[in-house]
């Protein structure tokens, strides 16, 4: 049995500038961090011929083009299994639709597992490119590239998205004290709202392609905030990073009317009154996880739990997508 594991992620600045509709004209930049919450894909050879799939549904088909799950179908065809006799099972620590990049994590884990099954060695850069090709080019999802790249690479990583579609990955240069400070004082709380990012990202894509100046100016500013976040963190000033994150959230909300809602705004205000320096919704918006940098983590945690939110503790992952053979 082959077990592939891909980390989920949080965005630390510049999110939204990784969409082709933006970076192909203006270049994008963001910081993403892999966390120790994972998507797992297992691959094994069953006794009976055919393709057996176990995810939220069960499938048993004879050919790849009969597979209903779009990512699995495209991945099997891309890797080139020929006449497959294979069983694929998926699991996740956290449900999809919560803003932590689960689709990109799933695609990279699946491709790594299938490549290992084929005895093919895949570099993280190639793995991310293959995942982006499936989701963006083959399936035409209106998404960006950060999820696939941070899942493949792991760590706390700066990504530059170039107009020619190349991506440059560089580790964020953090000293040990700042790294520990972030792990201690970045808090994640589940809002209870799950959502698809598609409608929000589709609106951003459409407006960017039409050169909507309000949208482009917003993304230009968010990219600059990403660069400022890198300066703050590499300069060992995580409190300044928290303040920039608040500024980021204020601009992110202007990007779409579906980015927030009155309940999320109420929780955010509560957090800011109880020890948070700044925060935002992780992912495209509309639901999922609220993330805060805390000046007083215990006061913040108590206030949010009393308001009915569940904290999810995490540490950073520095391995990226990995495989184990049992």
Q: What is the pLDDT along the chain (326 residues), one digit of tens a residue?
A: 999 999 999 999 999 999 999 999 999 999 999 999 999 999 999 999 999 999 999 999 999 999 999 999 999 999 988 778 999 999 999 988 888 999 999 999 999 999 999 999 999 999 999 999 999 999 999 999 999 999 999 999 999 999 999 999 999 999 999 999 999 999 999 988 765 555 556 666 677 676 778 889 999 999 999 999 999 999 999 999 999 999 999 888 877 667 788 999 999 999 999 999 999 999 766 678 999 999 999 999 999 999 999 999 999 999 999 999 99
CA distance 24 to 81: 33
Map out the domains of the chain with their CATH numbers: 2-173+317-325 (3.30.230.10), 176-312 (3.30.70.890)
Cα Rg, the chain, nearest whole Å:
20
Q: Calculate the alpha carbon distances from 233 to 44, 51, 172, 207 in Å.
A: 43, 47, 8, 32
* pTM for this prediction: 0.93
CA distance 162 to 165: 5
**Maximum alpha-carbon separation in the chain:** 60
Q: Calculate the alpha carbon distances from 157 to 32, 49, 196 in Å.
A: 6, 42, 25
pLDDT score at 84: 81
pLDDT score at 198: 56
pLDDT score at 211: 76
pLDDT score at 190: 94
């Amino acid at each position: 049995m082959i077990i592939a594991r891909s980390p989920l992620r949080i965005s630390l600045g510049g999110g939204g500038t990784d969409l082709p509709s933006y970076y192909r004209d203006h270049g994008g930049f963001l910081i993403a961090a892999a966390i120790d919450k994972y998507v797992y894909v297992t691959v094994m050879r069953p006794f009976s011929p055919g393709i057996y799939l176990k995810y939220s549904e069960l499938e048993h088909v004879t050919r790849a083009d009969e597979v209903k799950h779009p990512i699995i179908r495209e991945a099997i065809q891309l890797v080139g299994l020929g006449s497959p006799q294979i069983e694929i099972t998926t699991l996740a620590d956290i449900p999809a639709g919560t803003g932590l990049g689960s689709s990109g994590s799933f695609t990279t884990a699946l491709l790594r597992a299938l490549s290992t099954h084929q005895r093919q060695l895949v570099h993280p850069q190639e793995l991310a490119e293959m995942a982006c090709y499936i989701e963006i080019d083959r399936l035409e999802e209106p998404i960006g590239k950060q999820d696939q790249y941070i899942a493949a690479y792991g760590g706390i990583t700066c990504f530059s998205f170039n107009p020619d579609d190349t991506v440059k990955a560089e580790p964020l240069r953090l000293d040990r004290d700042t790294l520990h400070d972030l792990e201690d004082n970045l808090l994640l709380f589940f809002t209870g709202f799950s959502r698809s990012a598609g409608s929000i990202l589709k609106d951003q894509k459409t407006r960017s392609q039409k050169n909507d100046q309000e949208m482009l100016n917003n993304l230009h500013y968010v990219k600059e905030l990403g660069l400022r976040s890198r300066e703050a963190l590499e300069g060992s000033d995580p409190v300044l990073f928290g303040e920039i994150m608040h500024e980021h959230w204020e601009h992110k909300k202007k990007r779409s009317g579906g980015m927030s809602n009155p309940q999320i705004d109420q929780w955010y205000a509560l957090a800011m009154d109880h020890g948070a320096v700044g925060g935002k919704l992780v992912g495209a918006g509309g639901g999922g996880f609220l993330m805060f940098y805390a000046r007083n983590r215990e006061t913040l945690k108590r206030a949010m739990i009393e308001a009915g939110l569940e904290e999810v503790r995490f540490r950073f992952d520095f391995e990226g997508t990995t495989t184990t053979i049992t």
